[in-house]
Structure 1
């Protein structure tokens, strides 16, 4: 996460008082976020559940939930009977209540999605290119959003929370690897993508690193509820990743924690290389070119990959061997319960890669190492765009996992 990103999120998030939720009117907006966040994480919670988890009074919770229902942010489920007293009424987020746009900027392709309040993609657009450049990315984003808005009702348009962009840091790096002309990527040293989009659109715009965004999507919409601590690998044009500790993203002092691309690993020839030089899709692209196979299907759409046969299997085995070393290195530092692997490829490729990684881990010297569960990501190829789309929603309606769990712990300790 960039310093600008961190500063913006701080500005958008209300200050939190210690010791659980507050009944004071001045922090009512925060308590609403707290309720929405708990309902999002625990579908079907009742008012009694919320009061117990937050430490708020039953009367305060009733007032908040009535307000959220009135604003159509919450929906009532069918009453649950069978207990003493009044029946329990489960509450759910209303998918139609809030929408946001998510943008993924990759080194070979871009995606634009419209996401609803529960993380479902309603519309999407995809564009491929030789290399990313502001002259074609800005029209793709702004015109694409305008086209999507034109298909929405006025009521839904009024419920757009904003635009979240997931993009790699320092896009000008590795220009040679993606085959960009000399100097063509240098423009990114001076372009502020967030500011450029904001100047053209009426919605607030948020920015976060692409791999961190993908990890955040996995935390919120994927395996995060089952694994409070995990190391995350997302394989795009270049591999990136993230770290989740105590059910919250850990970005570190400079915002680069979990940027596992530079991690040193040994290749099949015994040479030490960076992980990104082995476990990245651009490596598969080069393998295909060397064999006279058109690599363009890699970038059309993740679900449209074909089985490229021998070069794909070589890439899977080499990538798995490198990932296995990265997993062992990660759990040697932090005792992660899981290592999650995802990427911009079809489910069947992800499945083969995870299976090969498990096999590669079992071939290593594991003395003194507790092997984590190595699993497939649950969000998929659109994880970066979904993570971007979640930024405006969290900024306006929800609270992050760290604060949420602290509130629950405080309430339970009182």
Structure 2
């Protein structure tokens, strides 16, 4: 990447946040360097110093510390220029490990990732609906199973676990075909605390759709999206997130960016929300209405065996709803792009995005600048990877919110 292009890209991502050469703030500077390398790949120390405003000496001290901690390593020297060859610094894949638990309305996924966000292994379980006891039991067994595949040294590098779970699960009993009180246990149970009590590492929790959005920010292709975007993740229910200045904005309740609740049509007696047309529960209902098992939707997101006619009908209705939702969101914030991802095969997601673009172009959007609409870059694992990104961000990345407050 050319230097001028890198300058513009880095400034867009870190918002002109600069390092400090004063003593006593090395932890912040280390996070800044790790964030820079994570988003834009291996970089020479001189380039890191130039982009962060840190002195060459400070960068050298930081690099020695990070290398001693096993978080970064030297790449192959780049020759061909005048003077000494440039040595890029890159993240060590085994520098740290993270666990990510996705609590879905039809399935549970626990993944083990390395420092680069590569999923090393996973355990899965499909269910009719999640219960606190079932989730805690699954997590405890899954953690033991996944960590047993690491060496003793690698287990010492497990930096934490994240949980991605839909908030207010008890509100969805009727939508899942259950009795009104079937999920009341979720009102009083703290699964994060219960799981952490048996771990020797910290455990974090976030709304599942916000976690999926976090995965796009932390692990997604930063060159392929805007710094401000609205994000849609289509699971059993559609949800999403709001990204401002390259930071997931969750609001005071942690539930900001609840895109599934965006109204898309009104009548005198009824209000239709995006969740009513763009959720996979709609496709599941179509399957069961036709006497088919909907389990094929949840078993493997990359290998659906769903009649094409049913998928086509769902895409048509979902894309119309997404087009309205994107237009509505864009009337409040001038997004650079809207990203659509979900628990579905890539071909289905691509067709959904294509159809959404077509539908949006047909709307009356006077006074609104519609954003570019594109596919998310993570895929069906976004919620689990987003969960794993929570401890990674907490320990190793720049906290944009804290920086802005400071």
| TM exceeding 0.5 | yes
The structure with higher relative contact order (CA 8 Å, sep 6+) is 1
Aligned to 2:98: 100
Aligned to 1:154: 152
Aligned to 1:73: 71
Instruction: Give me the whole-angstrom Cα distance separating, in 2, the residues matched to 1:308 and 1:94.
Output: 44
Instruction: Give me the whole-angstrom Cα distance separating, in 2, the residues matched to 1:272 and 1:138.
Output: 37
Match of 1:36 among 28, 31, 34: 34
Aligned to 2:365: 366
Deviation, 1:240, is 0.6
Deviation, 1:24, is 4.0
Instruction: Give me the whole-angstrom Cα distance separating, in 2, the residues matched to 1:246 and 1:190.
Output: 35
Query: Residues 19 and 349 (structure 1 numbering): CA distance in 2 closer, same or farther, change over 3 Å?
Result: closer
Please list the CA deviations of residues 336-389 of structure 1 after superposition, one character each: whole Å capped at 9, or x if unmatched: 111100011111111111111111112211323222111111100010110110
Aligned to 1:5: none
Deviation, 1:217, is 0.7
Unaligned runs of 5+ in 1: 1-17
Deviation, 1:253, is 3.5
Instruction: Give me the whole-angstrom Cα distance separating, in 1, the residues matched to 2:179 and 2:371.
Output: 42
Q: CA RMSD in A?
A: 2.2
Aligned to 2:315: 316
Match of 2:117 among 106, 116, 119: 119
User: Secondary structure of the equivalent of 1:303?
Assistant: coil
Q: Which of 235-244 and 84-93 deviates more?
A: 84-93
Q: Kindly indicate whether the alpha-carbon contact (under 8 Å) linking 2:340 and 2:374 is maintained by their aligned counterparts in 1.
A: yes
Match of 1:140 among 115, 138, 157: 138
Deviation, 1:19, is 8.1
Query: Residues 224 and 250 (structure 1 numbering): CA distance in 2 closer, same or farther, change over 3 Å?
Result: farther
User: Secondary structure of the equivalent of 1:75?
Assistant: strand
Deviation, 1:54, is 1.7
Asked if 1:233 corresponds to 2:232, the answer is: yes
Instruction: Give me the whole-angstrom Cα distance separating, in 2, the residues matched to 1:55 and 1:402.
Output: 20
Instruction: Give me the whole-angstrom Cα distance separating, in 2, the residues matched to 1:255 and 1:146.
Output: 30
Instruction: Give me the whole-angstrom Cα distance separating, in 2, the residues matched to 1:300 and 1:349.
Output: 16
Instruction: Give me the whole-angstrom Cα distance separating, in 2, the residues matched to 1:110 and 1:221.
Output: 21
Instruction: Give me the whole-angstrom Cα distance separating, in 1, the residues matched to 2:255 and 2:278.
Output: 19
User: Secondary structure of the equivalent of 1:122?
Assistant: strand
Deviation, 1:402, is 5.5
Deviation, 1:247, is 1.5
Q: Kindly indicate whether the alpha-carbon contact (under 8 Å) linking 2:17 and 2:52 is maintained by their aligned counterparts in 1.
A: no
Total equivalences in the alignment? 390
Asked if 1:91 corresponds to 2:89, the answer is: yes
Aligned to 1:63: 61
Aligned to 1:180: 178
Deviation, 1:30, is 2.1
TM-score, structure 1 as length reference:
0.89
Please list the CA deviations of residues 88-141 of structure 1 after superposition, one character each: whole Å capped at 9, or x if unmatched: 111110111100000011111111000111111000111111111012111111
Instruction: Give me the whole-angstrom Cα distance separating, in 2, the residues matched to 1:170 and 1:387.
Output: 19
The 5 A counterparts of 1:187-202 are 187-202=185-200
User: Secondary structure of the equivalent of 2:259?
Assistant: coil
Deviation, 1:254, is 3.0
User: Secondary structure of the equivalent of 2:19?
Assistant: coil
Q: Which of 304-313 and 205-214 deviates more?
A: 304-313
The 5 A counterparts of 1:7-406 are 20-225=18-223, 226-266=225-265, 272-401=271-400
Q: Kindly indicate whether the alpha-carbon contact (under 8 Å) linking 2:107 and 2:298 is maintained by their aligned counterparts in 1.
A: yes
Instruction: Give me the whole-angstrom Cα distance separating, in 1, the residues matched to 2:281 and 2:79.
Output: 56
Instruction: Give me the whole-angstrom Cα distance separating, in 2, the residues matched to 1:232 and 1:306.
Output: 27
